Structure 1
């Protein structure tokens, strides 16, 4: 791909900002509540502008879990957005989050359809020392990657990373997958059930800069191409466990704790058993750890996740003109007729 090639992409008319998908991750909860209060002022300002305003939908995704300040009520909502989960039979005894996922799919989707919102930004907190991360299912979604690059430039004092969950062999399952484009904005460290002002402020800045990018893009700004570092998740490692009780037998080693995205070399300390023994990383290649000792992942059997880092070249992008969009739609209609 030529560096100076410009990719023309459809306008982002509808954007959803979601908080409270996990009810005890409070930065997103409080931010969406604040944005809902500010929305009337924003809409009035955009009405006075010449260009078409972007429609921003603010969503509190899991209100029952939020009321109880719990990650979820019955099951993890952020695992309920596969096509099978959204379309299969639903009994009267179905978990609350299964019912709620269908309500959200009707509101923001349907997933995979032309009617789905153009972009979903789902807000999350982690107890791990990860800074601000965008987590996406694609390493070639130029919209998500350009938004990330814009955040890097506008938020230079905050560590930012782009995490790629490769689902080429399985289906995406999280709320952000309902949109045509989507990502989770994950920021920490912050304990669950707690809101820290610095973490909240960083998330608010990230959302504001993301929405600014969307408006710049829609107004015709050409964003130049370049390179972005992408961390592609390779595997998870569980805690050492007792074979009979399945209880964990070790904690993250002190030399690894809080060192998310610091390269883990074969032989480096990984765990420290409760009797004091050091257990070392036995992998054959150096990898980058993240979600180190994430509180919510104990139940999922994940002590750390490991990723490979590589540089991805992203092309220059601009919004399609109305004529280009009409030509695309006509071409799509012709293909359907054939």
Structure 2
């Protein structure tokens, strides 16, 4: 497979605090903001505290989930003083880092998140043909215990388990390492370090198939079961038909009724109770990605 020439990645955004109680990203951004650019970095990095009001209150969001406010409809909607804070903030961020989809937008945006689920270091990218993001996933997979989930050069870095409103040093360090490895890859790519690399045919990725809600009472819609102990903390471990999935509060084991084995992740994520999601199920796939080189190199 012929190497694909791509533009250098010269403008990068590192964002934390999109959810104000996911503290590894919050503290990593604070540490980065203490530094002063000396003009010698080969990459221009913008470091942003995405939702400062939520960070100040140590809550996920103030009025609405900022992570759901970056649709084109929301970004183009008129706002006023009575508009939800996160809606206003999303348009401020779009002006700072975008506009979304324009030639003026940053080349790569890395959004830092924590999860209460046992995902380890998980990279979420939103395209299966975004070669830069997928090569970064490959780079991190080779050097850390990293999972890659795919659904624009935008990537979320999810690391867990970490309770909300708590920072754990091991999670902070893993996030810090992940960001540094990403920067290392970008610098090497920009300098021509990958101009002769082989294509990758063995990138492990999972693609979201469906979300599963908790069992609920048919009348009150109150949750009637918790994630089964055999499933809890087994993110990205294969779930087979008939395996225990939930344990009802009356003691009954409820089993996975699907017809194919799938990979669960974001198992029992604390922030997803309000969204009616107990876990997500995904299919595993091998992604073949071409080698890449900076198009400035001849």
| TM-score, length-scaled by structure 1 | 0.85
The reply to whether residue 36 of structure 1 matches residue 33 of structure 2 is: yes
C-alpha separation in 2, matches of 1:137 and 1:248: 31
The reply to whether residue 318 of structure 1 matches residue 293 of structure 2 is: yes
Deviation string 1:98-144 (CA, Å, 9 cap, x unpaired) is 00000000000101111110000000000000000110111111100
The reply to whether residue 63 of structure 1 matches residue 52 of structure 2 is: yes
- Give 1:22's match in structure 2, choosing from 19, 23, 27: 19
- The range that moved more, 308-317 or 221-230, is 221-230
What's the secondary structure of 1:104's corresponding residue? Answer: helix
CA contact (8 A) 1:139 1:230 kept: no
- Give 2:150's match in structure 1, choosing from 160, 164, 183: 164
1:45 Cα deviation from its structure 2 partner: 4.2
1:211 Cα deviation from its structure 2 partner: 0.6
Root mean square deviation of aligned Cα? 1.2
The reply to whether residue 225 of structure 1 matches residue 196 of structure 2 is: no
In structure 2, the partner of 1:241 is 216
In structure 1, the partner of 2:73 is 84
1:273 Cα deviation from its structure 2 partner: 0.4
In structure 2, the partner of 1:281 is 256
What's the secondary structure of 2:92's corresponding residue? Answer: helix
Alignment of 1:115-130 (within 5 A): 115-130=104-119
C-alpha separation in 1, matches of 2:25 and 2:229: 30
* Counterparts in 2 of 1:44 and 1:112: CA distance versus 1, 3 Å: closer
In structure 1, the partner of 2:135 is 146
C-alpha separation in 2, matches of 1:190 and 1:27: 9
Higher share of residues assigned helix:
1
In structure 2, the partner of 1:9 is 6
CA contact (8 A) 1:11 1:320 kept: yes
Unaligned runs of 5+ in 1: 47-52, 166-179, 325-338
1:217 Cα deviation from its structure 2 partner: 0.7
C-alpha separation in 2, matches of 1:252 and 1:153: 31
Deviation string 1:148-191 (CA, Å, 9 cap, x unpaired) is 11112233xxx2111012xxxxxxxxxxxxxx411000000000
1:245 Cα deviation from its structure 2 partner: 1.6
C-alpha separation in 2, matches of 1:150 and 1:23: 29
What's the secondary structure of 1:275's corresponding residue? Answer: coil
In structure 2, the partner of 1:215 is 187
Unaligned runs of 5+ in 2: none
| TM-score, length-scaled by structure 2 | 0.96
What's the secondary structure of 2:35's corresponding residue? Answer: helix
What's the secondary structure of 1:263's corresponding residue? Answer: coil
- Give 2:266's match in structure 1, choosing from 291, 309, 313: 291
